[in-house]
């Protein structure tokens, strides 16, 4: 059986790395951390925030609700509190479809 190489993910990401992934300022991430209890980064001895993959997924979900859907912070908090599983699923589907669209656009741009 041939060996399949897996992409190794880091256990923790700095706030700078997370802000770059989302395309937002680190201050916005700190702001959301105060308003959304699902964001709970660990802190090292220096006090630097260390985000897990789950934290990043939650931040992407908050970004989707607030920035893409245009919800207020209160509306996003209520939506996450009432139906987090449903929101996770719908965001996951939208994210996958967006990646597929990007791939198809790239392929079509290479065609003559």
Mean pLDDT of 13-18: 92
Q: Over 70: is that where the pLDDT of 97 sits?
A: yes
- pLDDT of amino acid 8: 53
Mean pLDDT of 12-19: 92
What does the pLDDT look like over 22-75, one tens digit per residue?
Answer: 899 999 999 999 999 889 999 999 999 999 988 998 898 899 889 888 999 998
Q: Which residues of 24-41 are buried (b: 16+ CB within 10 A; e: fewer)?
A: bebebbeebbeebebbeb
Q: Over 50: is that where the pLDDT of 5 sits?
A: no
CA distance 55 to 51: 6
Domains present along the chain, CATH in parentheses: 13-110 (1.10.1660.10)
CA distance 62 to 57: 9
């Amino acid at each position: 059986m041939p060996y399949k190489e897996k992409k190794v993910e880091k256990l923790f990401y700095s706030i700078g790395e997370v802000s770059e992934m989302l395309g937002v300022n680190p201050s916005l991430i700190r702001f959301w951390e105060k308003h959304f209890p699902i964001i709970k980064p660990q802190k090292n001895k220096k006090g630097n925030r260390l985000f897990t993959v789950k934290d990043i997924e939650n931040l992407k979900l908050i970004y989707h609700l607030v920035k893409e859907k245009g919800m207020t912070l209160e509306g996003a908090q209520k939506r996450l509190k009432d139906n987090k599983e449903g929101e996770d699923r719908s965001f996951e589907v939208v994210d996958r479809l967006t990646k597929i669209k990007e791939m198809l656009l790239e392929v079509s741009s290479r065609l003559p």
